[in-house]
Amino acid sequence: TKHKATVRFVGVINKNEYYGIEYDAAVGKYNGTFENTHYFQCDENYGGFVKQKKLILGQDLLNAIKQKYLLDRQAVQIMHLTDGQLDKELEFCGLQQVDKWHREIQRMPSIGFQDNNIDRIGDISQLQQLIAGCISLDLSDNL
Please enumerate in sequence order all residues whose Cβ is within 8 A of that of 99, keeping only pairs 6 or more positions apart, or say none.
Answer: 72, 73
Does 67 share its domain with 130? Answer: yes
Phi/psi region, residue 39 (left: phi>0; alpha: psi -120 to 50; beta: rest), is alpha
**pLDDT value of position 47:** 97
Task: Provide the 3-class DSSP secondary structure of residue 2.
Answer: coil
Can you give the residue range of the structural domain that contains 92?
59-138
Task: For residue range 9-25, list pLDDT tens digits in order.
Answer: 999 999 999 999 999 99
In a domain, 133, yes or no: yes
- 135 and 111 Cβ atoms separated by less than 8 Å: no
Task: For residue range 62-121, list pLDDT tens digits in order.
Answer: 999 988 877 655 555 666 677 767 777 766 655 665 556 556 778 889 999 999 999 999
Residue of 126, 91, 83 whose CA lies nearest to 106: 126
CB-count exposure of residue 77 (10 Å: 0-12, 13-18, 19+): exposed
In a domain, 143, yes or no: no
**pLDDT value of position 84:** 67
Does 65 share its domain with 97? Answer: yes
**pLDDT value of position 78:** 65
Q: Model's pTM, two decimal places?
A: 0.61
**pLDDT value of position 38:** 97
Domain count, the chain: 2
Neighbour tally for 36: CB within 10 Å: 5
| 1 pLDDT tier (thresholds 50, 70, 90) | low
Q: What is the dihedral of CA 67, 72, 73, 74, to 10 degrees?
A: -170
